[in-house]
Chains A and B, each alone.
Chain A
């Protein structure tokens, strides 16, 4: 494989947004006839790199060579003409048009100035035949499954571009059978000598299809290695940036293990989102949830809090089954949930810090029983002091606060409702170091005061630090529950990396 020049080569590329570096001096080399997986957690710089290659962003520094020639794609269309096509997770085709129209949209074969439908359909059939896809090209695309739409999108991208194909999480919404169909198409294209960049959070799939892996973390290149012979554990530690270490553990009072569970999940699941899970959470206990992005960890929390409805299993609170049909129901049971995406799911940006703090409590009381201005100010001041929320004024709109302070306001919003069960999804993501430590201290503190907590975090060291138990999710399944001495980043990574092909019992 050491022959000739690489198909696509990225050298020393950097990109910053408003002075914040998203990509720093990254190299990336794609050979013809290779499936090259690009891996990294959220914010690692994968999508920035892809967008630079496909012309959606312009690089600040460095060069991109296609077959040895430097290229400067102005936009995505320009990159397509140069030979670089992209297929995204959400198929961005027009499902109301026919398969053939989608394949030839914007470049329909013309006859006397009009679209030559017969010619278009004939050529479409010929293209799809090469993929072994004998579907009716005159039927609307919407008639077919997402997997077939995905293949049509690939066929279109390959037909237009033909050198480099970027697959951005193409399998996220497919089932195992459909994934296999997609992969057979990818293998064909590899055999034809195309270079394929494959982005996925599913490690099993990466091992199944990729020849080479490049890992990015925090905008930097970690390494590029061949898949053959790469240990999963090594890969996971490259992605998460942690050496194997025995973490520091919080001493856990063994008596909590004997008390009755506050919240019990029995076979709770939703098809295509989370496989059925059994879990007990007791008062005075922090249950940590570990797993890569897309492992189903957020989705599980959403089932518990009634944001999404489960289609199997039950939730019991203090022994009594509860139909968790809406967040209101969950809140009425004394649940609280700090979401991962603060901006869209958490803060009410234009409202003041005071209003954001009293918000959940007011919603719970209903509109007829308003908190008086005095009560609101007292509550706000109490939490601003208790959580050390840095704001010049309690009447300042929350959108002007830093991420860490917004997170503290959200915590205050829920603590004001005096919950007995608190779910935190990535409570320390994107916040400054000071606030970080304070939030961890708060988690431990709340737990010691008898609250039950479920904490989802990618910061494994942190999770090991405060969790009484840790459950590990992978590919929408709970694959392990770590207790006692097994609570360590080491064991978490081993669990995430363990072979567990979809067929095997988890």
Chain B
């Protein structure tokens, strides 16, 4: 038997859901699992899932840490729009790619620190604190782009971030995998994961035990802002322009869903980055599957919502208890019939 790493074994339900959805996709579109190499780059529906899923995956990494502290970051979609606008305007004003990327990430960091300051220093509830930037963010992005879609068709170096490839893999896939591995290593190899979980479970007790709760809260929102910045650059590079109105629209919701499907509770505490990555992949497989199925586009959101509802109902505490009771009662019946048989003998 093949040894399955613990990190995956703990996430069996998510693996099963992912497998079921991929299998459904394969039924709908027979060529789903086929992968081929053209011009030194991998192509295929699976690669497409990994590639298209990059923004949600990146957002989910930051969102997981925020949610683990019992918070939430509603602004990530808007931050994507801001950062996309910043990147587009920097590159079109003639800045080099490194300067553009540095500027974009810096703006994302500032956005995250803003949220973190509202939550950690002013003790504003996270949902409200981040709602401010969620609402204001698109306005800021529109100001930066002066209300138009700022395109950069003539800047191949930035476009490469969204649609280039390296070692046969699309750039977005490489970026999110590298960031995910980095995040998992930093969080689990340092004591950060423990401290984040402790703040989510009991912030007061953590502070009284000497945890610098404020700094850690600031840091997780900053990381969420950075992740949103990377996602924003990818999204802009992908369409070769910054669309202040639509870049990252509703993606905060997909990111939160990915975290929840991945098994991290909105009540904070224990979290799983691997689970959130799988959650993001589940959501992207759904999106791709619905597109491949060729339903009229007006059905897409309904179908997606219905499938997510099914996943969440199956994961819900109520149905978990019901399952446990069902098993227990079947066990009881079995025991009873057994003992009756014994008695008959």
Residues of chain A touching chain B, judged by Cβ–Cβ distance below 8 Å, are 305, 307, 326-328, 331, 337, 339, 344-351, 355, 359-360, 362-371, 413
Q: Are B270 and A350 in contact (CB under 8 A)?
A: yes
Q: How far is the CA of A124 from the CA of B162 in the complex (A)?
A: 69
Q: Does B194 contact A (CB under 8 A)?
A: yes
B207-225 with Cβ < 8 A to chain A: 207-212, 216
Q: Are B210 and A349 in contact (CB under 8 A)?
A: no
A331-B210, A360-B209, A363-B210 known; A350-B201 Cβ under 8 A: yes
A350-B269, A350-B270, A359-B209 known; A367-B202 Cβ under 8 A: no
Q: Are A327 and B202 in contact (CB under 8 A)?
A: no
A347-B202, A351-B197, A365-B191 known; A327-B269 Cβ under 8 A: no
A344-B202, A350-B197 known; A362-B208 Cβ under 8 A: no
Per-residue A-contact encoding for B303-321, CB less than 8 Å = 1, 0 else: 0000000000000000000
Q: Are B190 and A367 in contact (CB under 8 A)?
A: yes
13 more CB-based (< 8 A) A-B contacts, given A349-B202, A370-B189:
A305-B208, A307-B208, A327-B207, A327-B209, A344-B204, A345-B205, A348-B202, A359-B198, A359-B209, A362-B194, A367-B192, A369-B191, A370-B191
Q: Are B269 and A364 in contact (CB under 8 A)?
A: no
Nearest B-chain residue to A330, judged by Cβ: B210
Q: Which of B195, B205, B212 has the most CB of A within 10 A?
A: B205
Q: List 12 A-B contacts (CB under 8 A).
A: A326-B207, A327-B208, A331-B210, A347-B202, A348-B201, A348-B205, A360-B209, A360-B210, A363-B206, A368-B190, A370-B189, A370-B194
Chain A residues whose CB sits within 8 angstroms of the CB of B197 once the complex forms: 350-351
Q: Are A337 and B208 in contact (CB under 8 A)?
A: yes
Q: Which of B190, B195, B204, B210 has the most CB of A within 10 A?
A: B210
Q: How far is the CA of A371 from the CA of B201 in the complex (A)?
A: 21
Chain A residues whose CB sits within 8 angstroms of the CB of B211 once the complex forms: 359, 363
Nearest B-chain residue to A371, judged by Cβ: B191
Chain A residues whose CB sits within 8 angstroms of the CB of B195 once the complex forms: 362-363, 367
The 8 closest A-B pairs by CB, nearest first: A370-B191, A363-B210, A331-B210, A363-B211, A360-B209, A367-B192, A367-B191, A350-B269
Q: Are A328 and B212 in contact (CB under 8 A)?
A: yes
Residues of chain B touching chain A, judged by Cβ–Cβ distance below 8 Å, are 189-192, 194-195, 197-198, 201-202, 204-212, 216, 269-270
Q: Are A364 and B210 in contact (CB under 8 A)?
A: yes
Chain B residues whose CB sits within 8 angstroms of the CB of A362 once the complex forms: 191, 194-195
Q: Are A370 and B209 in contact (CB under 8 A)?
A: no
A350-B269, A355-B194, A370-B190 known; A363-B209 Cβ under 8 A: yes
Q: How far is the CA of A348 from the CA of B206 in the complex (A)?
A: 7
Chain A residues whose CB sits within 8 angstroms of the CB of B208 once the complex forms: 305, 307, 327, 337, 339, 345-346
Chain B residues whose CB sits within 8 angstroms of the CB of A347 once the complex forms: 202, 205
Contact among B201, B205, B210 for A328, CB-based, below 8 A: B210
Q: Are B205 and A344 in contact (CB under 8 A)?
A: yes
Q: How far is the CA of A365 from the CA of B195 in the complex (A)?
A: 12
Q: How far is the CA of A362 from the CA of B201 in the complex (A)?
A: 17
Nearest B-chain residue to A337, judged by Cβ: B208
Contact among B190, B207, B209 for A413, CB-based, below 8 A: B209
Q: Are B207 and A351 in contact (CB under 8 A)?
A: no
Chain B residues whose CB sits within 8 angstroms of the CB of A370 once the complex forms: 189-191, 194
Q: How far is the CB of A94 from chain B (nearest CB, A)?
A: 20
Chain A residues whose CB sits within 8 angstroms of the CB of B209 once the complex forms: 327, 359-360, 363, 413
Q: How far is the CB of B231 from chain A (nearest CB, A)?
A: 25
Q: How far is the CA of A486 from the CA of B24 in the complex (A)?
A: 82
Nearest A-chain residue to B186, judged by Cβ: A367
Chain A residues whose CB sits within 8 angstroms of the CB of B198 once the complex forms: 348, 351, 355, 359
Q: How far is the CB of B271 from chain A (nearest CB, A)?
A: 11
Q: Which of B197, B207, B211 has the most CB of A within 10 A?
A: B211
Q: How far is the CB of B283 from chain A (nearest CB, A)?
A: 26
Q: Are B201 and A351 in contact (CB under 8 A)?
A: yes
Q: How far is the CA of A337 from the CA of B209 in the complex (A)?
A: 8
A331-B210, A364-B210 known; A345-B201 Cβ under 8 A: no
Q: How far is the CA of A348 from the CA of B211 in the complex (A)?
A: 12
Q: How far is the CB of B47 from chain A (nearest CB, A)?
A: 36
Q: How far is the CA of A236 from the CA of B202 in the complex (A)?
A: 37
Nearest B-chain residue to A417, judged by Cβ: B210
Nearest B-chain residue to A331, judged by Cβ: B210
Contact among A305, A346, A355, A368 for B205, CB-based, below 8 A: A346
Chain B residues whose CB sits within 8 angstroms of the CB of A327 once the complex forms: 207-210
Chain A residues whose CB sits within 8 angstroms of the CB of B204 once the complex forms: 344-345
Q: Which of B190, B195, B207, B209 has the most CB of A within 10 A?
A: B209
Contact among A339, A349, A366, A367 for B201, CB-based, below 8 A: A349
Nearest A-chain residue to B268, judged by Cβ: A350
Nearest A-chain residue to B209, judged by Cβ: A360
Chain B residues whose CB sits within 8 angstroms of the CB of A371 once the complex forms: 191
Chain B residues whose CB sits within 8 angstroms of the CB of A363 once the complex forms: 195, 206, 209-212
Chain B residues whose CB sits within 8 angstroms of the CB of A305 once the complex forms: 208
Q: How far is the CA of A137 from the CA of B210 in the complex (A)?
A: 47
Q: How far is the CA of A119 from the CA of B211 in the complex (A)?
A: 56
Q: How far is the CB of B323 from chain A (nearest CB, A)?
A: 22
Q: How far is the CA of A266 from the CA of B274 in the complex (A)?
A: 53
Q: How far is the CA of A344 from the CA of B205 in the complex (A)?
A: 7
Chain A residues whose CB sits within 8 angstroms of the CB of B270 once the complex forms: 350
Q: How far is the CA of A350 from the CA of B267 in the complex (A)?
A: 11
Chain A residues whose CB sits within 8 angstroms of the CB of B216 once the complex forms: 367
Q: How far is the CB of B81 from chain A (nearest CB, A)?
A: 32
Q: How far is the CB of B29 from chain A (nearest CB, A)?
A: 42
Chain B residues whose CB sits within 8 angstroms of the CB of A326 once the complex forms: 207
Chain B residues whose CB sits within 8 angstroms of the CB of A366 once the complex forms: 191
Q: Which of A347, A348, A351, A355 has the most CB of B within 10 A?
A: A348
Q: How far is the CB of A334 from chain B (nearest CB, A)?
A: 12
Chain B residues whose CB sits within 8 angstroms of the CB of A331 once the complex forms: 210
Chain B residues whose CB sits within 8 angstroms of the CB of A328 once the complex forms: 210, 212
Q: How far is the CA of A370 from the CA of B185 in the complex (A)?
A: 13
Q: How far is the CA of A217 from the CA of B211 in the complex (A)?
A: 38
Chain B residues whose CB sits within 8 angstroms of the CB of A337 once the complex forms: 208
Q: How far is the CB of A450 from chain B (nearest CB, A)?
A: 22
Chain B residues whose CB sits within 8 angstroms of the CB of A307 once the complex forms: 208
Nearest A-chain residue to B187, judged by Cβ: A367
Chain A residues whose CB sits within 8 angstroms of the CB of B192 once the complex forms: 367
Q: How far is the CA of A400 from the CA of B205 in the complex (A)?
A: 17
Chain A residues whose CB sits within 8 angstroms of the CB of B206 once the complex forms: 348, 359, 363
Q: How far is the CA of A355 from the CA of B191 in the complex (A)?
A: 11
Chain A residues whose CB sits within 8 angstroms of the CB of B201 once the complex forms: 348-351
Q: How far is the CB of A354 from chain B (nearest CB, A)?
A: 10
Chain B residues whose CB sits within 8 angstroms of the CB of A369 once the complex forms: 191
Q: How far is the CA of A369 from the CA of B194 in the complex (A)?
A: 12
Q: How far is the CA of A500 from the CA of B209 in the complex (A)?
A: 37
Nearest B-chain residue to A305, judged by Cβ: B208
Q: How far is the CB of A394 from chain B (nearest CB, A)?
A: 15
Q: How far is the CA of A327 from the CA of B189 in the complex (A)?
A: 26
Q: How far is the CA of A345 from the CA of B209 in the complex (A)?
A: 9
Nearest B-chain residue to A306, judged by Cβ: B208
